[in-house]
Structure 1
Amino acid sequence: MSLVNGTISTASSFHLAGIPGLEAFHIWFAAPLTAMYIVTLIGNCTLLLAIRTALSLHKPMYLLVSFLSFSDLVLSSSILPKMLANFWGNDGEISFSACFFQMYLLHVFAGVESGILTAMAFDRCVAVCNPLRYSTIVTHPLIANIGGACLARAAFSVLPQSLLAMRLPFCNRHIAHSFCEHIAVVKLSCADITLNSRYGLVTTLTFGAMDLAAIGASYALIFRAIMHLPRKDRFKVFSTCIAHVIVMSFFFIPIFSSLAMHRFQNTIPPYVHILVANAYLLLPPVANPLTYGVNMAEIRQGVRQMFLKAKSRLLLCG
């Protein structure tokens, strides 16, 4: 909607500004973002195919990795195609329905990612603290239920946020962001957005705090168990957690950096906020498959077997 002669008139779309203040550099951002998206698609699709085809990867831990890869694919694909169209071709127009759908998807799957990372901490905690009972505690049905719970939690908690945003009247259609981020959209409204901003902040902090508390408790138990091991075995045991720690860092550090920046929004340039927001949504989908591929020998072996099988089929067909 747009404001004409003091009244609200309807419009069919919003306009995404990209990165305000750095518009002249959009074309320079386009090339690395395209490369990131290609790496995201190849890396996560390869990981999913390897886990599906390699029998050695049909374990609960790798089922969680597959959930994370699927979440990464949805998260990046909900944002990057439109962002690239804007940066490459200056096409920032996005329909109202597409904008709200993008907003819903990105917040849901950011929540799913947080939940899956929490479940991975639980998995590592059981593997380190109670290895003899790991196979009886962490089962395929349990992991499937956890994945469903993560999706349901995110979907139902984000739905009111999106519905509250959709009911607002908008006096401006120029979104000062590179994607339809919730607060950037609702700030365009002519109405009071206190409820919208408080609901978004409370849900983010509540679920973020819950997940971080669960992860912190899991790693406290892990460190306590490791300290009871002989010194020579400590790093070997903790090395099974390194990939998870790296992946968590790529996700949670930019999120809480972005939240902290909102306290100093009058002193920090807007483009810094937007770059950090892009980082926590776009870096994990690129980094996660590379991190697990480098740090987990079974995944490397599964990928190798998948390519060898594909090569054999091609030779037979030829």
Structure 2
Amino acid sequence: MLAFNNTFTYWPTFSFIGIPGLETAHTWISVPFFLLYLVAIVGNVLLFILVKTEQNLHEPQFYFLAILALTDLGLSLSTMPSVLAIFWFNIHHIGLDACLTQMFFIHTLSSVESGVLVAMAFDRLVAICAPLNYTRILTHYMVACLSGAAFIRGATLLIPLPFFLRTFPFCGTNVLSHSYCYYPDMLNLACGDVTFSSVYGLVCVLCTFAVDVVFILASYTKILSTIMKLGIRDRNWRSLHTCVCHLCTVLVFYLPLISLAVLHRYTQETSPILYTTMSNAYLLMTPLLNPVVYSLKSRQIQAALRKRLWVQRVVAGE
């Protein structure tokens, strides 16, 4: 946003606080952060490659998993530069355009991930409640439509946010509460009447995350109801086991998200270190844990990993 006075125009800059009170230990703190980012990036890339190359994983649920891995990869790459720049180079400042760009990608990719989790819930719903029609309903075209809808919804709803922020002057110290640019955080620094922008941000949350949570809960209510109506011998335990992976992913994504939203909207004078901890958990732990969850819980992913490792050993032996 251009800030004006009688004589000149300037572009505001924003400051990241890093981890308050531990500035002297930033070099040491950077080591686990870098390793976690590296594991998250490698894990999601490996997960995407497995789904792409292994014929046994060419199923709708794993297509959604590959899209989820790409989204998590985007989230990691969106936040990693600013986080590591603080720890490694003591760079705490960012320009308005760069901040708005980072903010847009973070919020859009978060919305897309939420939409993909809904698509995965729908996949499990059809697999358990209508198994005979699974291949007819979950076609490649349907997978593409659901994935495209998640992306279009996120981009369409969230693209106005940077333009809203550009309409406000930033007349304070412009110190952000996180190690990256976050819309509610930036809006708190804006001068002027931010009521409409704040309400629009709340509407975005309700139209994405709130609606998605309701759909996921409704899906699993139907799934559990269907399973309990079946006899023990007729219950599809294999399909139910895949639900565990999805539920773990849902919890990993939504719990930090909800906690961070509550901190921003309903708490006052919260410790800065608490903000930093929750924000890093929100955007770092989700890309990190999703590949781990599916590697530990999904038998098909485990089999693909074993096959890939066996092939590599054979090639190395030759």
Give the TM-score of the pair, scaled to structure 1.
0.90
1:120 and 2:137 equivalent?
Answer: no
Amino acid in structure 1 at the alignment position of 2:215: A
Shift of 1:195: 2.0
CA contact (8 A) 2:4 2:10 kept: no
Matched to 2:191, the amino acid is C
The 1:301/1:186 distance shift into structure 2, 3 A limit, reads same
Cα distance in 1 for residues equivalent to 2:300 and 2:55 = 11
Partner of 1:133: 133
Match of 1:52 in 2: 52
The Cα of 1:127 is off from its aligned counterpart by: 0.7
The reply to whether residue 247 of structure 1 matches residue 243 of structure 2 is: no
Maintained 8 Å contact 1:86/1:92? yes
The Cα of 1:6 is off from its aligned counterpart by 9.7
Q: How does 1:71-110 map to 2 (within 5 A)?
A: 71-110=71-110
Which residue is 1:222 aligned to? 223
Asked if the contact 1:114–1:208 (Cα under 8 Å) also holds between the matched residues in 2, the reply is yes
In the TM superposition, residue 239 of structure 1 has moved relative to its aligned partner by: 1.6
Give the deviation of 1:310 after TM superposition. 4.6
Supply the distance in 1 between the matched residues of 2:162 and 2:26 (Cα, whole angstroms).
28
Q: Does 1:40 align with 2:46?
A: no
Aligned CA distance change for structure 1 residues 94 and 313 (closer, same or farther; 3 Å): farther
Which residue in the other structure is 1:144 paired with?
144
Q: Which amino acid aligns with 2:286?
A: P
- In the alignment, what sits opposite 1:204? 205
Is structure 2 residue 197 aligned with structure 1 residue 162?
A: no
Unpaired stretches in structure 2, ≥5 consecutive residues: none
Contact map agreement 1:30 1:84 (CA 8 A) in 2? yes
Matched, 1:153 2:153: yes
Is 1:180 matched up with 2:193?
A: no
**CA 302–7 in structure 1, closer or farther in 2 if over 3 Å, else same:** farther
* Cα distance change, pair 205–272 in 1 and its aligned pair in 2 (3 A): farther
Q: Secondary structure at the match of 1:289?
A: helix
Distance 2:12 2:205 in 1: 29
8 Å CA contact 1:18–1:86 kept in 2: the answer is yes
Distance 1:54 1:248 in 2: 25
Local SS of the residue matching 1:152: helix
Please give the alpha-carbon distance, in whole angstroms, between the structure 1 residues aligned to 2:7 and 2:117.
Answer: 47
Task: Please give the secondary structure, in 2, of the residue aligned with 1:174.
Answer: coil
Given that residues 53 and 306 in structure 1 are in contact (C-alpha distance below 8 angstroms), is that contact kept between their aligned partners in structure 2? no
The secondary structure found in structure 1 opposite 2:241 is: helix
- The answer to whether the 8 A contact 2:115-2:212 is kept is yes
Q: Deviations over 1:129-187 (max 9, x none)?
A: 11111111111110111111100000010011121112322223432321111122222
TM superposition shift of 1:308: 3.9
- Aligned AA for 1:151? F
Distance 1:95 1:313 in 2: 49
Structure 2: how far apart are the matches of 1:280 and 1:273? 10
TM-score (norm 2): 0.90
- CA distance in 2 between counterparts of 1:102 and 1:46 reads 25
Tell which deviates more after alignment, 11-20 or 273-282. 11-20
Gap change, CA 1:304 and 1:8, over 3 Å in 2: farther
* Residues in 1 aligned to 2:129 and 2:179: alpha-carbon distance in whole angstroms: 44
CA distance in 2, matches of 1:86, 1:256: 26
Alpha-carbon spacing, 1:192–1:24, altered in 2? closer, same or farther (3 Å): farther
Where structure 1 has 5 or more consecutive residues not aligned to the other structure, the ranges are: none
CA contact (8 A) 1:2 1:8 kept: no
Aligned partner (choices 287, 290, 296) of residue 289 of structure 2: 287
Contact 2:127 2:239 survives alignment (8 Å): no
Report the number of matched residues. 316
1:259 equivalenced with 2:264 (yes/no): no
> Where does residue 171 of structure 2 map in the other structure?
171
TM superposition shift of 1:106: 0.2
The one-letter code matched in structure 1 to 2:49 is: L
Q: Supply the AA of the counterpart residue of 2:73.
A: L
